[in-house]
Structures are given as structure tokens and as C-alpha cells.
Amino acid sequence: MAGVPGRCKKGISMAKVVVLEKDVADKIAAGEVVDRPASIVKELVENSLDAGATRVEVELEEGGRRRITVTDNGCGMMLEDAVLALERHATSKIRAADDLYAIRTLGFRGEALPSIAAVSTLRILTCAEGEETGIAVTVERGEVSAAEQRGAPRGTQVTVTELFANVPARLKFLKAVPTELSHIVDLVIRFALSYPDVAFRLSHNGRAVFASQGSGDPLNTVVAAYGREVAREMLPVDSGEGAPVRVQGYISRPAVTRTSRSYQSFFVNRRLVRTPILTRALDEAYKGYVPAGRFPIACLFVTVDPAVVDVNVHPTKMEVRFAAERDVFQAALRAARQALAGANLAMPALPPRVEQSIQVQTAGERPAVAPPPAPSAGSGAPVGEALEDPFAGLVVREPVADLAPKGK
């Protein structure tokens, strides 16, 4: 019987069942959510977006190994909420089990902050809307060590340092700084693609790496993410309103392909996901257009009723299940085929209006890693008006981390 100590078939004594210490349980739970700096950035940026932020700044030192700071201008938190948010399974995003079948937020598990805090030193500076002062909370390896009132603009800033200091074995699995940085750059680019109405800024060791304008025009974000030459070769996709599954976004002309799926981004109700359903639909749509081993660039958004998609599949929230997978596959396939069939593949994809926007936006285009901005980006200052000007002109062309389904 399970849970009853005894002897195994070969006569070897079985260990008694015990309840794990909180510290051990927290580290195990953290291992499911936090495996590298990019995991932390993902969880913190999702919290910022759920808080209604229109500006999100990510600052890194040494690929995030030394420091990660995510600052937003969202709704902020009161003291009691900030402290309670550090408890496992504490969340503002759901209330009952039935809510799991209609998730409309990026986060909902209530595991991000406690998981991060369990393997690092975490500092929260936050101020709720309407409050005159903010609060600062410091958590060291899972335990709140300080909580005090402090002046702060509206929004939240979370700083993570000493990552895996109490789990040295995990440090061995981190890659070199350029590799860890590349995963974060790719992740922020995909967030920017999914939220074109939010201004993103990413800096590393005090140098600006990527920025999006937050203008609300998805095409501007495509330019910022992939550069104007690629943007000119993207075809608009839109399956139209009224159907249970709507597919929108951009796919590249058959002449513009890559050797991996790293340049394919899929979103379900604005949630970045891995799904073989959409990769298969894209493969099928491009049959006869591209040779084997080549993959188009794609940024596809699927909008469905939250009640027919299960996002409670994996702790990282990167996997989803659909109630009607075939409907999603067929909708994506038809939309992609229509975009390819309806375009003159010998002509530029973008209309003159977009061409003018690209010319204006990229007139001062700079390298992927720009010179340091005038005020040091490593200062940890909250996002404010000063962040608007550096957003213009920065371009990152090559997202590198592969978010395609395993085995693909």
C-alpha cells in the first residue's frame, strides 16, 4: 500500500515516507519554474503585462546571472499584497477552480515570485495607484528580511540578484553569458510582437540592446524585431472576424526562410506558446513553396474563446491544449494559404503607407547593440518619461533561442 513502509521484493529496506522541509519543497517547486535567467524575465514581464503596464524595462548584468531588474508602470501593489504575493499559490488572477477554464491573464498559478525568491535575493519596489508612498520588500532565499515604506513612482520594480547562490549545482547548468543573453533577447522580442501597444526596452551591462515603440502598430514591432529588409518581405495574415478561431499576423514570402523554426512565434490569446499544431499548419501551407529544411518567418496570433483552450498544462505556461485541435489547425492552414495565394510574390509585400513608416522609423537605424544611453541603464531607475526617446531606432534582427516544440 502506498505510504506504508516495508520491504521491496529483493529484501532491500524501503525508506519511510516523510514530509519534505519547506526549504527543500520550495527549491523543487522553483526548479519547475526557474531554470535559467530567461525564465525569471518571462515570469516578471508577464506580471507587468497583467498589471496593465504600457512600458516595461528589462535590465541585465552578465546575461542575468548577476542581476535582473524588471520595471513597469502598471497598477502597482499595496504592502499587504506585495508580501502576500510571495506566498506560494497566492494570486490576484483567479479565485475559484472554474476560473481555470476561462483564463484571460498570462499568469495565474501564483508561483512566480515565491519560486524566484527561493533561489535568489529578490527586492520589490512598488507603489499602487493613488498612494503617496511606495513600499520596498526584500526577500533573501525565500524569507522576507525587510519591508518598509519608500518613495516610488506608480508601478513595480523587481530586482533579482545572487541567482542560484543557495543552489550551486544549478549554476553549473547555466550557459555562457552570450547564450543566456540571447534567450532573453529573443523572449523580449516575442513579448514585443505580442504586445505592440507596450513599449519595451532591454539593456545589458548598461548598453541598450532592444527597444520597441509601443505605437500599437504590429508592423512597427516587426521592423524593430527583424529589421526593415525582412519586414518588407512579410505577408499579412487575417482569417477574418466571426469564426470561432481567428488567425492573424505575418508570414514571410517563400523566398525568405531560415534553417530552423527559431523565427516562428505563435501566440494564443496573446500568450506565447509552443504548439505543434501551428507548426504543422505552417509546414503544410508552405508545401511546394520552400525546400525541405527551410522554414518561413512567422508571427501568428490565434484568438479563441478562453473556455476552449487549457493553459493549465505546464508550470512554465508555455504549453496549451485546445478542445478542438483540428479547428485550430484548419484555421491556421487556411489563413496562411490565403495569404500566400493572394499575394503577388514578385512584389514587395508592404503597401506604400507601411514603406513610408519603415523609412521614417529606421532612418537612424543602429546596430543590434547600441552605445550606452546618456543616463546609465544599469542605474535601476523606474520606467518614466526619460525612457521614450531611446526607444526610437533600435533594431535587433536575429532572435536566436529556439522556442519550437521539442523534436521539431
What CATH number does residue 156 fall under?
Answer: 3.30.565.10
* Residue 400 within a domain: no
* Residue 402 within a domain: no
φ and ψ at residue 6, rounded to 5 degrees: -170, -145
The whole domain housing 28 covers 24-216+368-391
Answer whether 333's CB lies under 8 Å from 302's CB: no
Q: State the CATH number of the domain containing residue 331.
A: 3.30.230.10
* Residue 397 within a domain: no
Does residue 198 share a domain with residue 258? Answer: no
Does residue 143 share a domain with residue 78? Answer: yes
Does residue 332 share a domain with residue 212? Answer: no
* Residue 399 within a domain: no
Does residue 196 share a domain with residue 93? Answer: yes
* Residue 227 within a domain: no
Q: How many angstroms separate the CA atoms of 254 and 288, rounded?
A: 10
Does residue 113 share a domain with residue 256? Answer: no
* Residue 293 within a domain: yes
Per-residue pLDDT of the chain (408 residues; tens, 9 = 90+): 555 555 555 555 556 876 556 665 555 554 456 789 999 999 999 989 988 999 999 999 999 999 999 999 999 988 887 877 777 555 554 444 444 455 555 544 447 788 888 889 999 999 998 888 899 999 987 788 888 888 899 999 999 999 988 788 778 888 999 999 999 999 999 999 999 999 999 999 999 999 998 988 888 888 888 888 889 899 999 998 888 999 999 999 999 999 999 899 999 888 888 888 999 999 999 999 999 899 999 999 999 988 878 665 555 556 677 778 899 999 999 999 999 997 766 555 555 555 555 444 444 443 333 333 333 333 333 333 333 333 334 444 444 444 444 444
Does residue 243 share a domain with residue 206? Answer: no
Q: How many angstroms separate the CA atoms of 235 and 249, rounded?
A: 8
Cell numbers linked to 146: 525587510
- Total of domains in the chain: 2
Does residue 244 share a domain with residue 165? Answer: no
Does residue 252 share a domain with residue 187? Answer: no
Q: How many angstroms separate the CA atoms of 237 and 249, rounded?
A: 5
* Residue 405 within a domain: no
Does residue 58 share a domain with residue 205? Answer: yes
Does residue 53 share a domain with residue 80? Answer: yes
Does residue 111 share a domain with residue 45? Answer: yes
Give the residue among 361, 56, 70, 42 at the shortest CA–CA distance from 226: 361
Does residue 285 share a domain with residue 187? Answer: no
* Residue 10 within a domain: no
Q: Give the global pTM.
A: 0.75
Q: How many angstroms separate the CA atoms of 381 and 34, rounded?
A: 25
